[in-house]
């Protein structure tokens, strides 16, 4: 399946049972809710997916199960966040074997690679597979920035590097990328609280977090923004912002899983060392979620614009 790097692509959470095994039943419920809302792809194994706590076999199971659930409707993308080039290449190979349609790639984990090393890492993995790749550029959280000059070298030599998850927090970077690369590099915003601004500045899509709990509202914002109905999108976005801010937090997984519980498409179970929220922190998050759920906007018929 060729990936059209646009639209809303949820970075989905991984569901766990009370016994800390994969909860594929609840996972299926959530994925179907995303599909019903009109998302354009599914991204597995990111931060929200608690990838650092998953075994390799669990990641492979999630890919295989998701491919079955989506049944060709949208592409399935698996995140690659590894410490060594050799393991990253192995993950890419396994993703292809398991039916994934594309990869999202972070720079090397733990070791803070310099620019030359980062480019060499991406090149080596990209040249080992024919799967299309989206580079995840998040220097704020991961300490390594993929600069425009680095992208130029990668795009010249790796045709399957096709998109960037833009998480520098610098809105003007969207214009810089468009000016430098035109349509050669698709841009998907990776920061929930900057999503509408990014779309209005020309981003092609949104790798979203709160979509896990509020899929229709998220897709509606994208569809309206791209249809030139900015004011309608802004009205939904203003309602959504307090919830979207739950994604810009070290406890984003726990926050979003609580929101999934509130909308009936998830559970609160997380995998240790994460623990469910407690005390005043939990109370504050629940108040934000409850207020948002009670004031959910009536959405226009946004699917006509998809």
Calpha distance 12→201 (Å, rounded) = 25
Q: Quote the percentage of the chain above a pLDDT of 70.
A: 100
Residue 1 pLDDT more than 90? no
What percent of the residues of the chain are helix, what percent strand, and what percent coil, each to the nearest 5?
A: 50, 10, 35
- In this prediction, residue 127 has a pLDDT band, given cuts at 50, 70 and 90, of very high
Block residue for tokens 């096709």: 162
Calpha distance 141→128 (Å, rounded) = 27
59-104: pLDDT as tens digits: 999 999 999 999 999 999 999 999 999 999 999 999 999 999 999 9
- Which domains does the chain possess? 7-305 (3.20.20.70)
Residue 122 pLDDT more than 90? yes
- In this prediction, residue 200 has a pLDDT band, given cuts at 50, 70 and 90, of very high
Please give the pLDDT value at position 102: 98
pTM of the model: 0.97
The backbone torsions φ and ψ at residue 281, rounded to the nearest 5 degrees and listed phi first, read -60, -45
130-176: pLDDT as tens digits: 999 999 999 998 999 999 999 999 999 999 999 999 999 999 999 99
152-158 long-range contacts, CB within 8 A, separation 24+: 152/180, 152/181, 153/119, 154/119, 154/122, 154/123, 154/126, 155/181, 155/184, 155/185, 157/123, 158/122, 158/123, 158/126, 158/127, 158/133
Residue 125 pLDDT more than 90? yes
* Average pLDDT across the chain, whole number: 97
């Amino acid at each position: 399946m060729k990936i059209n790097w646009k639209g809303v692509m949820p970075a989905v959470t991984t569901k766990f049972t009370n016994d800390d095994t994969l909860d594929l039943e609840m996972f299926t419920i959530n994925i179907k809710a995303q599909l019903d809302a009109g998302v354009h792809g599914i991204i597995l194994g990111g931060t929200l997916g608690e990838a650092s706590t998953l075994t390799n076999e669990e990641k492979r199971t999630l890919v295989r199960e998701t491919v079955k659930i989506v049944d060709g409707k949208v592409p399935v993308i698996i995140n690659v966040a590894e410490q060594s080039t050799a393991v990253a290449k192995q993950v890419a190979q396994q993703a292809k074997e398991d039916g994934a349609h594309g990869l999202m790639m972070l720079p090397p984990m733990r070791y803070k690679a310099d620019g030359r090393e980062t480019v060499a890492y991406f090149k080596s993995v990209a040249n080992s597979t024919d799967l299309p790749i989206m580079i995840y550029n998040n220097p704020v959280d991961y300490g390594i920035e993929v600069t425009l000059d680095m992208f130029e070298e990668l795009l010249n030599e790796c045709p399957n590097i096709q998109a960037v998850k833009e998480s520098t927090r610098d809105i003007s970077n969207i214009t810089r990328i468009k000016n430098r690369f035109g349509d050669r590099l698709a841009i998907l915003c990776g920061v929930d609280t900057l999503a509408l601004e990014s779309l209005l500045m020309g981003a092609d899509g949104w790798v979203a977090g709160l979509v896990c709990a509020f899929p229709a509202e998220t897709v509606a914002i994208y569809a309206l923004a791209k249809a030139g109905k900015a004011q309608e999108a802004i009205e939904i976005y203003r309602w959504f912002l307090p919830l979207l801010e739950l994604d810009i937090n070290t406890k984003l997984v726990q926050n979003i899983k609580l929101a999934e519980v509130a909308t009936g498409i998830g559970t609160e179970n997380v995998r240790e060392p994460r623990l469910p929220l407690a005390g005043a922190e939990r109370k504050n998050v629940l108040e934000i979620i409850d207020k948002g759920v009670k004031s959910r906007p009536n959405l226009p018929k946004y699917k006509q614009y998809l």
